[in-house]
Chains A and B, each alone.
Chain A
Amino acid sequence: MLKGIEVLFFYLLSLLCIFFSMLTISARNAVHSALFLISTLISVAGLFLLLHAEFVAGVQILVYVGGVLVLFLFVIMLVSSGQTTRRIFTNQFAIGVAVATLLGLSFFAAISQVQATNYFRAREAKQEVVTKNTEKVGLQLYTQAVLPFEIASLVLLVAIVAAVRLARDRKQEKIFN
């Protein structure tokens, strides 16, 4: 019974995902694109929940939707490119189609081979589903992954410096020079 519901939710969320991501790239208005992207991200967060990754799902909503995408919206408003454009695509349609077919074909070949040989079923771990996901991720983050964690903090510092350097205007520059 429960498994049936899981499958149902998977179908629902993945259809939403594909639908919204299509809309993201075909919307005429940048604000609409951003809103569709937010919807995509929320459905991906739902899929994370299905996969018992509660912590990552929460971070996805908080950081991506609450932080990054709101920043996107701010910048769209700031540079006032919110208006609708008539031509939304470049004239590189040929490249786009080529990329899509190439990627599509190679994914199809790869995944159908994996399916046929049951590669993943043979490798599945035997133990139970990870419970207490957040606790486990937190513990590992500060032990196993402490080095990338620290480097990521440096990346954030660089991002701050970069944003300050690139985005302040003449008036703001005068204060410090």
Chain B
Amino acid sequence: MVPLSWYLILSAILFTIGAVGVFLKRNVITIFMCIELMLNAVNLTLVAFSSFYKQVYGQLFVFIVMTVAAAEAGVGLALVISVFRNRETLDVDKSNILKL
């Protein structure tokens, strides 16, 4: 049996990579992909501990998270399309109508 903390470490690494990506990437779509990466880190922790505690609450949680992530992706990508129609760019650096 693989020690549980290894899974915790792996998910921490994935989460950190995702979170850093959100700050670093310039393209809106890739930022969104980094958020999906973070959600996957969450799912990994949940499933690991679900099988550790020998019950399925964690897996139920993962199922719901995936459903919501799919819905979120639908809305987010629709937004991407409508922003692109207006501005012809997805670069977060270039869209500066609103002051940072």
- What are the interface flags for A35-60 relative to B under an 8 Å C-beta threshold, 1 for contact and 0 otherwise? 00100110010011011110110011
A7 to chain B, nearest CB (A): 6
Give, as a whole number of angstroms, the nearest-CB distance from A89 to chain B. 5
- Judge whether A10 and B78 touch: CB under 8 Å: no
Main secondary structure of the interface of B (DSSP, over half): helix
Question: Is A87 a contact of B26 with CB atoms below 8 Å?
Answer: yes
Which B14-51 residues have C-beta < 8 A from chain A? 14-21, 23-27, 29-30, 32-34, 36-37, 40, 43-44, 47-48, 50-51
Per-position 1/0 for A73-105, Cβ under 8 A of B: 001101101000101111011011001100110
Which listed residue (A48, A71, A104, A125) contacts B74, Cβ 8 A? A71
B26 near A6 (CB under 8 angstroms)? Answer: no
Q: Are A111 and B12 in contact (CB under 8 A)?
A: yes
| B93 engages A103 (CB within 8 Å) | no
- Determine whether the beta carbon of A14 is less than 8 Å from that of B6: yes
Selected contact of B5 from candidates A53, A88, A115, A129, CB within 8 Å: A115
Q: Which residues of B54-100 are within 8 A (CB) of A?
A: 54-57, 59-60, 62-64, 66-75, 77-82, 84-85, 90, 92-93
A120 touches B24 (CB 8 A): no
Which of A6, A10, A25, A111 is in CB contact (< 8 Å) with B17?
Answer: A25
CA distance A52 to B8 in the complex (A): 17
Whole-angstrom CA separation of A163 from B60 in the bound complex: 26
Are B67 and A152 in contact, with the CB atoms below 8 A? yes
In the complex, are the beta carbons of A56 and B63 less than 8 A apart? yes
Interface residues of A (CB under 8 A from B): 3, 6-7, 10, 14, 17-18, 21-22, 24-25, 27, 30, 33-34, 37, 40-41, 44, 47-48, 50-53, 55-56, 59-60, 63-64, 67-68, 71-72, 75-76, 78-79, 81, 85, 87-90, 92-93, 95-96, 99-100, 103-104, 107, 111, 114-115, 120, 123-125, 127-130, 133, 136-137, 140-141, 144-145, 148-149, 152, 155-156, 158-160, 162-163, 165-167, 169
A-B contact pairs, 16 of them (CB 8 A): A22-B17, A25-B34, A25-B37, A27-B30, A48-B47, A60-B66, A71-B73, A81-B27, A85-B27, A88-B25, A96-B20, A111-B12, A137-B63, A144-B57, A145-B63, A152-B71
